[in-house]
Structure 1
Amino acid sequence: MTPRSSRLRPLTACVPGSKSITTRALLLAAAANGTSTLWAPLISHDTLTFKKAVGSLGARVENSPGDQFWDVTGTGRGPAGTARVWCADAGTAARFLPPFSAAGVGTFTFDGSEQLRARPLSPLLKAMTELGADVETAVPGRLPLTVHARGLQGGELRVDSSMSSQFLSGLLMAAPLMRHPVRADLRGSVSRPYLDMTLSLMRRFGADVEEPESGVIEVRPGGYQPTALVVEPDASTASYVFAAAAATGHRVTVPGLCGSSIQGDLRFVEALREMGAKVEITDCAVTVTGTGSLRGGFDLEMGDISDTFMTLAAVAPLADAPLTIRGVRHARFKESDRIAAVAQNLRACGIRVDETEDSVTVRPGRPRAARIACRRDHRIAMAFSVLGLAARVPLTLDDPHCVTKTFPGFHREMARLFPDYTVPERR
């Protein structure tokens, strides 16, 4: 991989808004007492599903022309009445909205796709029950579920967050709507940066949140106040253009991301720096420049930024030595078993991979043409698209359109940035 002078011309990537911020802000705005404005929200399958869901729970969401911003008028409390909420494939909807509904009064039924029905909810439902919720399920710990809501008491919050931090985030966001203060121990939770994002946005919407000791959070009743919020570009999504730059010798800038970002996944660029890329972080943008080679021969702990581990694993075959990614066991419980999906697809490309329960080691090698099994997982599709570009090998995605979950324009944007990128067709 030798950079050409033409490749080092600055490229500016158009990365859409953060899904994590958009969905959290939608919920908090729906609970606020007044109208909030969300600027530059992510427009994707998941966020549109979430937007429709909060509307069915009583919030009013109005679009500006071109969806430049959304005005969200909240109820000032939990929802009331009766609603059936379709979550489609959106795990955030299934994990954030039931606690919110339980803080209201009424009967609320949640269901989703077969993929979402297969994802576990037991830790969330157990914690909700301990806080006073009445939850009915057809299959224990799975969708569909019905919440017979009469408010939540509050108190000590105990939830197993070893599979996903979203269980705890959903409960924390409902805490200001409960009758009594909530105390939660975040120590031992996976993906702490996502919990920090949740707490930061709760404070932005006026919640009374304190951390009296490290890892222990106290939330007092009082609800939320409306605010205006600009949604940052999605750092997880930016990982694909950054990795592509590092692996092809390009220079790519994502404006709107900065060192003060509330998104933990921005730390992905530090992994690229360790692999040899040049990284620049300013107050208004992040730039990654490929230097002509990728280094391996070390271990990386990526548990806190596990949504980006597939991106790094996909370009790891191009490094000069093996690369081990650790601490990502909880990635097995996402849209797919992501450790298994990465290993399966790299092996299909002729790459040697060693897999454990919580890690993957990728050996250097020259990838060969292969059919990539996306498993309806947007991040698998995008990660292996980067490998196909960087290795200049035809990789056929069995489901190229699954990227619409978070980045509908992914293939077009990659082709705009990188002339060698071929927009895949479904086969």
Structure 2
Amino acid sequence: MTTVPAPPEALHARVPGSKSLTNRALLLAAAAEGTSVLTAPLVSDDTMAFRQALGDLGVRIRSSDDDGAWQVTGLGRGPRGTGRIWCADAGTAARFLPPLAAAGHGDFVFTGSDQLTARPVAPLADALRRLGAQVDTGPDGTLPLRVHAEGLDGGELEVDSRLSSQFLSGLLMAAPLLRGGLLLKVRELVSRPYVDMTIALMRQFGAEVAEDAPGGFAVRPTGYRAADLRIEPDASTASYFLAAAALTGRSVTVPGLGHGSLQGDVRFAEVLERAGARVRRTEDAVTVTGTGTLRGGFAVDMGDISDTFMTLAAIAPLADAPLTIHGIGHARLKESDRIEAVARNLRALGVRTDTGRDWITVHPGATSPARIACHRDHRIAMAFSVLNLRTGNLTLDDPGCVAKTFPGFHEEFHRLFPVHPLPAGPARASA
């Protein structure tokens, strides 16, 4: 009789709450009538910047002393008054909050860091103007963005979402606050799972949203009502721990990311399965077990889960054949030009890498010692930390940038994989 070896005991990764869910829920609770309770929210640079920006718009948010839940007393409408709103590095703040402000009354100026100012907001400003708002932007359609708000009537609007689905999500979330209904017609939508997440959360807060036709969304002017919500672990952040399992032959479970997850990035586990890992999904968790081999030789469209493409690209040098990732052109407009940043770092390691407008191909090969240029991009730092589990010859020029979404990343990664060294200085101080 052949004895089948038992699978390795699963390590349980402590992944913090989803940034995407936390910031969307914060906005919806802020616009709702009544007090909402958000349990297990993500506490990071981005979410705290979003929370502070809402406070500057007049929203009262209190943290519970008992369990850290956030109690949000909503405005029941758009904000009123004047203010200069600091968005820091948070792209969601710069893209979600101006539509909320436009649905209110007053003068609001949205500003941010140099990194955020480099990211475009012109498509959003144009959409708000076509709805009747008075909007001005900085040079080249960037921040600062000024909104003179007298409420919005609604109507019909065509939106080009090729650059970012966040523009569409911002307009959708403001739509129930308009004086009339809004029909949004969308051209070339990217990252559809994030829009589905937005709509699911809107419905939990009482909105009525229907797909009017393929590429169209109809939203009634119902306003929002308060709701209590537990925030799921961040599926994008989970990708680093799941990829680490695939590389090391260990088994890693992330509780809270089961079949009913609202986050499209849980599908990264399916990509790892194509690459040779074993994957198990249950109602309340996902587990990935490495098999000792990372398979390449395939191409994958990661346009809908582009926040995880860097995780795959960073470990691709260890595959047994080239890997091509495509459909990710919009990733060039994130915290950094992520395609170019990943390619340059891989080339610095001596890895052959080819790129195009919306794709990257990584060839297998040995790596040389190198210092990874993070470009203040948390996902670059975390993705290359996974590769370092096998190479052991990488350092990060900015380990502390992980605080944007997971201040304790290096400590948790070291807890599960002690071979991963704890960075000195900035990362430890930010945790």
Fold shared per TM-score above 0.5: yes
The answer (yes or no) to whether the contact 1:264–1:305 under 8 Å persists in 2 is yes
What's the counterpart of residue 142 of structure 1?
142
What's the counterpart of residue 394 of structure 2?
395
User: Cα deviations across residues 159-184 of structure 1 (Å, max 9, x unaligned)?
Assistant: 22111000010011000011111111
The answer (yes or no) to whether the contact 2:324–2:360 under 8 Å persists in 1 is yes
What's the counterpart of residue 276 of structure 1?
276
What's the counterpart of residue 414 of structure 1?
413
What's the counterpart of residue 376 of structure 2?
376
Moved more, 6-15 or 289-298: 6-15
What's the counterpart of residue 35 of structure 1?
35
The answer (yes or no) to whether the contact 2:81–2:105 under 8 Å persists in 1 is yes
- 3-state SS of paired residue (2:139): coil
| Aligned ranges 1:25-104 → 2 under 5 Å | 25-65=25-65, 68-104=68-104
In 2, Cα distance between equivalents of 1:408 and 1:66: 21
In 2, Cα distance between equivalents of 1:191 and 1:222: 26
In 1, Cα distance between equivalents of 2:362 and 2:7: 27
- 3-state SS of paired residue (2:159): coil
> Is residue 413 of structure 2 the alignment partner of residue 404 of structure 1?
no
The answer (yes or no) to whether the contact 1:103–1:177 under 8 Å persists in 2 is yes
- 3-state SS of paired residue (2:109): strand
The code of the aligned residue for 1:283 comes to E
The code of the aligned residue for 1:321 comes to A
The code of the aligned residue for 2:420 comes to Y
What's the counterpart of residue 341 of structure 1?
341
User: Cα deviations across residues 117-172 of structure 1 (Å, max 9, x unaligned)?
Assistant: 11001110000100011112332411112111100121112222111000010011
In 2, Cα distance between equivalents of 1:85 and 1:231: 25
What's the counterpart of residue 171 of structure 1?
171
Deviation at 1:216, TM superposition (A): 1.7
Q: TM-score, normalised by structure 2?
A: 0.96
In 1, Cα distance between equivalents of 2:366 and 2:66: 43
- 3-state SS of paired residue (1:8): coil
- 3-state SS of paired residue (2:406): coil
- 3-state SS of paired residue (1:159): strand
Moved more, 117-126 or 58-67: 58-67
The answer (yes or no) to whether the contact 2:159–2:186 under 8 Å persists in 1 is no
Unpaired segments of 5 or more residues in structure 2? Answer: 427-431
In 2, Cα distance between equivalents of 1:283 and 1:68: 25
Q: TM-score, normalised by structure 1?
A: 0.97
In 2, Cα distance between equivalents of 1:66 and 1:298: 49
Deviation at 1:66, TM superposition (A): 6.6
Deviation at 1:6, TM superposition (A): 11
In 2, Cα distance between equivalents of 1:251 and 1:138: 49
Ranges of 4+ aligned residues in structure 1 off by more than 3 Å? none
The answer (yes or no) to whether the contact 2:125–2:137 under 8 Å persists in 1 is no
- 3-state SS of paired residue (2:330): helix
> Is residue 203 of structure 2 the alignment partner of residue 236 of structure 1?
no
What's the counterpart of residue 207 of structure 1?
207
In 2, Cα distance between equivalents of 1:158 and 1:359: 27
User: Cα deviations across residues 336-394 of structure 1 (Å, max 9, x unaligned)?
Assistant: 000000100001111110111110000001222101000000000000011111x2322
The answer (yes or no) to whether the contact 1:397–1:425 under 8 Å persists in 2 is no
User: Cα deviations across residues 258-280 of structure 1 (Å, max 9, x unaligned)?
Assistant: 11111000100000000000000
Unpaired segments of 5 or more residues in structure 1? Answer: none
CA change 1:188–1:373 in 2 (3 A) is same
The answer (yes or no) to whether the contact 1:397–1:426 under 8 Å persists in 2 is no
In 1, Cα distance between equivalents of 2:201 and 2:421: 38
What's the counterpart of residue 352 of structure 2?
352
- 3-state SS of paired residue (1:313): helix
In 2, Cα distance between equivalents of 1:93 and 1:263: 19
Deviation at 1:83, TM superposition (A): 1.4
CA change 1:69–1:208 in 2 (3 A) is same
Q: Paired residues, what number?
A: 422
In 1, Cα distance between equivalents of 2:246 and 2:329: 26
In 2, Cα distance between equivalents of 1:192 and 1:361: 24
In 2, Cα distance between equivalents of 1:367 and 1:242: 22
In 2, Cα distance between equivalents of 1:67 and 1:109: 34
The code of the aligned residue for 2:22 comes to T
In 1, Cα distance between equivalents of 2:201 and 2:131: 23
The answer (yes or no) to whether the contact 1:18–1:233 under 8 Å persists in 2 is yes
The answer (yes or no) to whether the contact 1:368–1:393 under 8 Å persists in 2 is no
The answer (yes or no) to whether the contact 1:399–1:426 under 8 Å persists in 2 is no
> Is residue 155 of structure 2 the alignment partner of residue 155 of structure 1?
yes
What's the counterpart of residue 188 of structure 1?
188
- 3-state SS of paired residue (1:127): helix
What's the counterpart of residue 301 of structure 1?
301
Moved more, 402-411 or 206-215: 206-215
Moved more, 167-176 or 180-189: 180-189
